[in-house]
Structure 1
Amino acid sequence: MNEPLILAAILILAAGTFSLRVAGPLMRARFELSERTRQLLSTAAIVLLAALVATATFTAGHTHAGIARPLGVLVGGLLAWRRAPFVLVVVAAAATAAGLRLLGVP
């Protein structure tokens, strides 16, 4: 591909992304969602996030991630639930997974 075509593609994608970002606040005043719809959207966001966490926790590519990563995520999740500082959550989760792998746990 040549550079002008790549630049045009980038500009088109940037304009589309900006348009989608601006559309939400501009259209909010025109539509009124029912309380049931708001609850469903909130639940859908939580379910989507949980699915993303589960996928990232238990798989590595197309294979099982082993047990060290899920245990690290568990430690991080427990610390986050106990409202520990974010840096501590991340470091403890990483240290747990790294420590277990150092001990030979997959």
Structure 2
Amino acid sequence: MSLWVAVVVASLLSFAIKLAGYLVPESLLAGERTSRVTTLLPVALLAALVVVQAVTGDAGALVVDARLVAVGVAVVLLLLRTNFLLVVLAAGAVAAGLRALGWG
């Protein structure tokens, strides 16, 4: 029963946050600093998510395995301005190859 309560409460909070976004006056969002922050915030959050997923294992332990090498390959390919689909495929192939070899 408590799981359903948590799901309903989370859904209502999510709806309230989205509704609040529509109710905020545009004058509060029109500043240059606010525009910069709202533009760069998703990039920072995604980067943090990738790092956390790449280097944490069970119980939050720091782990260096095939995931970290795959992220490194993806970073290099992105710096070389490779097509994003190829970046994802190459990183996946590197991770799969290293895991097939027993590392990770």
Is the shorter-chain TM-score for this pair beyond 0.5, marking a shared fold? Answer: yes
TM-score (norm 2): 0.67
Among 87, 90, 94, the residue aligned to 1:89: 87
Counterpart for residue 50 of structure 1: 47
Among 55, 60, 64, the residue aligned to 2:57: 60
Q: Report % sequence identity.
A: 34
- Report the aligned-residue RMSD: 2.9
Post-superposition offset of 1:55: 1.6
TM-score (norm 1): 0.66
Change (3 A) 1:72 1:6: closer
The reply on whether 1:15 has 2:12 as its aligned counterpart is yes
Contact 2:73 2:91 in 1 (8 A): yes
* 2: CA distance, partners of 1:59 / 1:6: 27
The reply on whether 1:98 has 2:90 as its aligned counterpart is no
Counterpart for residue 35 of structure 1: 32
Question: How many residues get paired?
Answer: 102
- Structure 2 segments unaligned to the other structure (5+ residues): none
Post-superposition offset of 1:78: 2.8
Counterpart for residue 69 of structure 2: 71
1:54-101 CA-to-partner distances (Å, cap 9, x unmatched) read 221112123333232111112223334424142x32222111012112
SS of match in other structure, 1:56: helix
- Structure 1 segments unaligned to the other structure (5+ residues): none
Larger radius of gyration: 1
**Structure having the larger proportion of residues in helix:** 2
